[in-house]
Chains A and B, each alone.
Chain A
Amino acid sequence: MKTDNQKKTIRKILNYIRKYWWLILVSLFFAAITVVLTLYLPILTGDAVDAMVEEGRVDFRVLKELLVKMSVIIVITGIAQWLMNTANNKITYMVVRDIRRDAFYKIQRLPLKYLDSHSSGDVVSRIIADVDQFADGLLMGFTQAFTGILTIVGTLFFMLMTNVWITLVVVLVTPLSLFVAAFIARKTHSMFQKQSEARGEQTGLIDEMVGNQQVVQAYSHEEKALARFDVINKRLEKYSLRATFFSSITNPATRFVNNLVYAGVGISGAFFAINGYLSIGKLSRFLSYANQYTKPFNEISGVLTELQNAVTCAGRVFALMDEREEVEKIPPREQIGTATGAMEIEHVDFSYVEDKPLIQDLNLSVKPGQRVAIVGPTGCGKTTIINLIMRFYDVNRGSIKMDGRDIRDLSRENLRSQYGMVLQETWLKDGTVLENILFGRKDASREEAVEAAKLSHAHSFIKRLPQGYDTIVKENGENLSQGQRQLLCIARVILCRPSILILDEATSSIDTRTEMQIQSAFQKLMANRTSFIVAHRLSTIKNADIILVMKDGKIIEQGNHEELLAKKGFYTNLYMSQFAAD
């Protein structure tokens, strides 16, 4: 039944668990003690019942002895149970911690290619929800699978020792409950499916209508939406009732089988007792075994689905952890101290998807201090160039050189520390304003951070924040405007004094007037530095030394603003299009 994949996953889980082998030994040891003693108790109880036959015939010496024995056993069982539970908890939470830690480390080493092509929600849900599910399954599996099997075996053993025939009654009837449970589960599966389909449809409608309430209300569509909602709601009610009802039959049905076993033991036990083959105490022993015997069966069938689920969840996490990491050429040759800012891009080919070529034979030579602007329609490969020079992605062919050194010969840390990057999305960390500015250079002092903030025009608004530089930046940044967040990002870059500056659509979500103010911050930042600017608005890049006009992954025009306008080519078109239409 198990595929190779599952086997592999299980092997990996075992690898994680192996570290805690002594805890497992502890757990197994105490589990065994718990089960054996728990099963032994009904025997003593039965003997105690046998010690009180009838009026005037109670053997108090034996009874006392038995009860003392029982008390000791009970206390030992309780302690063993607690130790077992604690060991299981420890194994589970430690394994989960290890897996989460490794998964997170893995993310830091995965190529952006993977992270860009998988939604962050999906990755988060693997590390959080899947690992949680796995933990639940593992914990349940540990506590119940082993003790369950041991209980079944132990009960059988003790019952056989007492009476073979009554044991047969129990053994023959009990599996019925398994069949019943499996039968119901199969029957209800399709009903659950229909229920979740209806649920999905309804959620879709809710999402659409509530999510766009403004439009719904603007067009007075509320009543119609409610009518559509009700149609689905009625259907959901119908399927829900069936699914809920049929699945809730499982418990009564298994309880019924249990009662059958009980009655069977009662009747057959009574007959054996009449014939003198069984004492009353032994009958009571059987009755209590009969009550216990079905429980582990039901639990184990639950555990199996739970474990299956756990393995599936673990599989998803391990799939993430099996992804190929970025490899560092080892050992990297000597590193660059501070780059001059010269960049050469030579015959570079690159594509994200194998048979969809994007960038072909790209060549570019940038002298220190030059300003390079990249323009072109969406999807033409502007941001891709940034991805390549930052080495977020590796080129397929050709090379990119910094100060004459192939960037693949440098360590990523050495390479990236030469750059300062400002992106369109203003990512800030959960923390204070100061911490965020210091993000780029943790050894900088508070004074240096304030200096950087002044240079980026951020100081004046930071001063006005409730706690100044110690104000906490909220996750969604409600307390800062988009423009203010952008200024913080710029301060962050200024602080690290990079050799090369990269601005990728850094001002596109800001209105033009605010942009003008931010521009002056950029001007200071770009002075004497090589810079790459990907821009949305042509006004941003008119002063660049080199403007690259890209289309479909190729540079189709190259030059400064005046040269390009003189060419009357694609750039001129781009530049004039709005003017013509007006």
Chain B
Amino acid sequence: MKNLLVYIKDYKKECVLGPLFKLLEAGFDLTVPLVTAAIIDYGIANEDKGYIMKYGGILLLLALIGLACSITAQYFAAKAAVGFAANLRHALFSHIEKLSFSEIDQIGTSTLITRMTSDINQVQSGVNMALRLFLRSPFIVFGAMILAFFIDIQAALVFAIVIPLLALVIFGIMGISMPLYKKVQGALDKVLGSTRENLTGIRVIRAFHREAEEEEQFCRENNFLAKSQLFVGRIAALTNPVTYVMINGALVVLLWISGIRVHAGSLTSGEVIALINYLSQILVELIKLANTIVLSNKALACAARIESVMSVQSSLAVREAGQSETAVGKRGQVVFENVSMCYQGSQEPSVTMVDFTAEPGETIGIIGGTGSGKSTLVNLIPRFYDVTEGCVKVDGQDVRSYPIKELRERIGIVMQKAVLFKGTIRENLLWGNENAGEEELMEALELSQSIEFVEKKEDGIDSFVEQGGRNLSGGQRQRLTIARALVRKPEILIFDDSTSALDYATDARLRGGLKRLSYRPTIFMVSQRTSSIRHADKIIVLEDGEVIGIGTHDELLENCQVYAEIHYSQYQKDKGAASGKEEESENR
């Protein structure tokens, strides 16, 4: 929480005024019993109607002022809390934007979204409540006690004894039950897990007719949950009765002492009523305080989670723009020098000792089985991850010496997952280059083989794309992401297994178009199909992160067994090149 407090500094005034007005209100609350005592002891005793009216009027006035104070306090508290949350959201979002792929992988996207939304909301209501109640409740408790001492020291001793005792009991029960509640939550998570597992596996479960065992397992977990809930419930149910007995026990003692004091003439009955009143005020505030603590504990836990995200530093040391050294190498050249890369938290490197050069304008094919390190390799070029050993050079210069933005502007990457954003097709294409003109957009659409379906749409290039591109087919989405990369006219074009949803004919036309590009980008083509890369200038075969073959298609068929196996698993050896797969990819 401490590190998050900077985001509330714009609201210092509100943070002081809110509790202040709350204290004023509490002060008025505390005077009410005194006024009542005055009415009883003087007004009634002297049968003074004017006095009663006057003091009754004061009671009404106190109620009104109290209302005004507390509304003011609520406003300042709300303003500070809401403003704080807005600042925090801004800061967190901009922080997340700066994180590199490794950090995002590690934290997880869904976690980040929870931090941004529900956690911040929790913190907001926690701050709001803390500003209102954290000062008020103790103030009333101690205020009531002090005023009781002013009324009568002996009678007030009851307060001095019962308040610490009450606090001990309330917080003691809380302290015992809170860890137990965590256990209950664990049991609930188990029940939830079982339900989800059962639903996702329902076909398998039915195929193996294991319904009865599933029911039995669920029953066990469900019963355990009920049992732990009952156990905690029994303890938590103690809070109210125990506090009731204690505070009213104190009342009995108070009445007895009062009796003695009244008999001695040092206490009036109006004052006795005031003391009784204070006692009940204290009870109410202590219970409120306990609730506040539970809620603020939750808020603090959320704050800690947010802080832990904030404390993650981007592992990419980013250079500021304008600092770049002039590139010395050829435009579009990419060099891998003994590159090894190991993901955070994993022991085995994903890429080991990769060493090759891609000359400007060349097409490099990269192939290998699932998990062989193909994507990792190309992700090193735009510096989505940093190498662990060796270095990657673009235009003759280490990628780590570029300002990130400058480096990435040279590169167009089409990822495996075809992601589009809510907005029009045009807006999506402009991501590639916001200054691109109409002609350039059309060119990119044509080259990516998307012009046909885009023109068929009612609004053409200005048609709306729903979030995640839901209203487009997989193939259409993929072609648009290719167009987006082409709009950029990059020096280096990377296709990360991103033509899998295209049928062979489209794929071939696309590859033909790329060959004819006037600015001759260096192309990296990652694929699982040998047909997509067989015409590449160089093909790199990866297995378990190691390069086990570099060469042209024909060379590799000759001397790289893995490549040959991959190829023949797709093209039956006996039938030459006559066979293919993925007959339905276009429709997905």
Q: Chain B residues near A273: list those with CB within 8 A.
A: 40, 44
A105–B219 Cα distance when bound, in Å, is 9
* B256 surroundings in chain A (CB, below 8 A): 63-64, 67
A404 CB to closest chain B CB (Å) equals 22
Is B559 interfacial (CB-CB < 8 Å)? Answer: no
B206 contacts partner chain A, Cβ-Cβ < 8 Å: yes
- Find residues 370-386 in chain A having any chain B CB closer than 8 Å to their own CB: 375-379
A244 touches B580 (CB 8 A): no
**Residues in B whose Cβ lies below 8 Å from that of A271:** 49, 52
Known A280-B44, A378-B588; contact A256-B66, beta-carbon cutoff 8 A: yes
Please determine whether A249 and B71 come into contact, CB atoms closer than 8 angstroms. yes
Residues on the A chain within 8 Å of B223, using CB: 97
- Residue B384 lies at the interface, judged by CB distance under 8 Å to chain A: yes
Contact B93 A215 (CB under 8 A): no
State the CA gap A52–B201 with chains docked (Å): 75
Minimum CB distance partner of A504 in chain B: B203
A253 CB within 8 Å of chain B:
yes
Which applies to chain A's interface (DSSP): helix, strand, loop or mixed?
helix
Interface SS of B by simple majority: helix
> Which of B111-119, B322-330, B451-459, B546-554 is found at the contact surface with chain A?
B111-119
- Residues of B contacting A568 with CB < 8 Å? none
**Contact residues in A for B507 (Cβ distance below 8 Å):** 581
Cα–Cα, bound, A527→B198 (Å): 32
B558 at the interface (CB under 8 A from A): no
1/0 per residue B292-336: CB within 8 Å of A?
000000000000000000000000000000000000000000000
Contact flags B546-580 to A (C-beta < 8 A → 1, else 0): 00000000000000001001100110100001111
Cβ A123 vs Cβ B203 within 8 A: no
Instruction: Please state if B280 and A288 are interface contacts (CB–CB under 8 Å).
Output: yes
Nearest residue, chain B, Cβ from A244: B78
User: Contact mask B225-253 → A, CB, 8 Å, 1/0?
Assistant: 11001100110011011101100110110
Known A56-B265, A101-B218, A222-B97; contact A392-B255, beta-carbon cutoff 8 A: no
With contacts A86-B233, A233-B89, A423-B203 taken as known, whether A262 is within 8 angstroms of B263 at the C-beta atoms is no
List 14 other contacts, CB 8 Å, given A77-B244, A206-B113, A379-B587. A45-B276, A52-B263, A52-B272, A94-B226, A107-B195, A120-B196, A215-B415, A218-B411, A237-B85, A252-B74, A260-B63, A267-B52, A574-B583, A578-B583
Whether A440 is near chain B, meaning CB under 8 Å from some CB there, is yes
- Would you mind naming 22 contact pairs between A and B with Cβ atoms under 8 Å apart? A56-B265, A57-B263, A67-B255, A78-B241, A94-B226, A107-B199, A204-B422, A217-B384, A219-B488, A240-B82, A244-B81, A244-B128, A248-B74, A263-B60, A266-B36, A267-B53, A271-B52, A379-B587, A421-B207, A513-B369, A581-B508, A582-B577
- Minimum Cβ distance to chain A for residue B288 (Å): 11
**Which residues B484-499 have CB closer than 8 A to chain A?**
484, 488
Cβ contact within 8 Å between B531 and A427: no
CB-CB < 8 A to B193: which residues of A?
A: 430, 475
Taking residues whose C-beta sits less than 8 angstroms from the other chain, chain B's interface range is: 35 or more
- What residues on A are CB-neighbors of B32 within 8 Å? 259, 262
Residue of A nearest to B63 (CB): A259
B4 close to chain A: CB less than 8 A: no
Q: Which stretch (B171-179, B209-217, B442-450) binds chain A? A: B209-217
State whether the Cβ of B581 lies closer than 8 Å to any Cβ in chain A. yes
Instruction: Determine whether the beta carbon of B222 is less than 8 Å from that of A100.
Output: yes
Q: Are B99 and A213 in contact (CB under 8 A)?
A: yes
Chain A 77-99, CB-CB to B under 8 Å as 1, else 0, gives 11101100110011001101100
A107 to B199, CA, bound (A): 8
> By the criterion CB–CB under 8 Å, are B252 and A263 in contact?
no
Max chain B Cβ within 10 angstroms of own Cβ: one of A123, A217, A256, A440: A217
Is B215's CB under 8 angstroms from A512's CB? Answer: no
- What is the CA–CA distance of A481 and B348 in the complex, to the nearest angstrom? 15
> Could you say which of A45, A128, A256, A515 contacts B251, with CB atoms under 8 Å apart?
A45
Interface string of B188-201 (1 = CB under 8 A from A): 10011101111111
Closest Cβ–Cβ distance, residue A498 to chain B (whole Å): 9
Question: Using a Cβ cutoff of 8 Å, how many contacts connect chains A and B?
Answer: 434
Chain B, Cβ-Cβ closest to A204 = B467
Q: Which of the residues B199, B202, B245 comes within 8 Å of A74, measured between beta carbons?
A: B245
Interface size on A, residues (CB 8 A): 154
Q: A270–B39 contact, CB under 8 A? A: yes
**In the complex, which residue of chain B has the Cβ closest to the Cβ of A281?**
B269
Q: How many angstroms between the C-alpha atoms of A287 and B66 in the bound complex?
A: 19
Does any Cβ of A come within 8 Å of B409's Cβ? yes
Alpha-carbon distance A71/B78, docked complex (angstroms): 44
Q: Given the known A-B contacts A51-B259, A240-B82, A287-B277, are A511 and B369 also in contact in the complex, defined by CB atoms under 8 Å?
A: yes
CA distance in complex: A105, B276 (Å): 56
Chain B residues positioned under 8 Å from A248 (CB to CB): 74, 77-78, 128, 132
Type the 1/0 row for A377-416, where 1 means its CB is closer than 8 Å to any CB of B.
1110000000000101000000000000000000011001
Query: Does residue A470 face the partner (Cβ distance < 8 Å to B)?
Result: no
Nearest CB of A to B382, in Å:
6
Given the contacts A93-B230, A115-B199, A252-B74, A287 and B63 also touching, CB distance less than 8 Å: no
Residues of B within 8 A of A55 (CB): 262-265
In the complex, how many angstroms separate the beta carbon of A420 from the nearest chain B beta carbon?
8
Q: A460 contacts the other chain (Cβ, under 8 Å)?
A: no
Q: Tell me if B86 counts as interface (CB < 8 A to partner A).
A: yes
A245-B75 CB under 8 A given contacts A52-B259, A266-B56, A378-B588 = yes
Query: How many angstroms between the C-alpha atoms of A288 and B278 in the bound complex?
Result: 11
Q: Is A429 an interface residue (CB 8 A)?
A: yes
Residue numbers in A under 8 Å from B432 (CB-CB) = 219
A539 adjacent to B222 (CB under 8 Å): no
B90 in the interface (beta carbon within 8 A): yes
Chain A 232-270 interface residues, beta-carbon cutoff 8 Å to B = 233-234, 236-237, 240-241, 244-245, 248-249, 251-253, 255-256, 259-260, 262-263, 266-267, 270
Binds B, one of A16-24, A223-231, A301-309, A461-469: A223-231
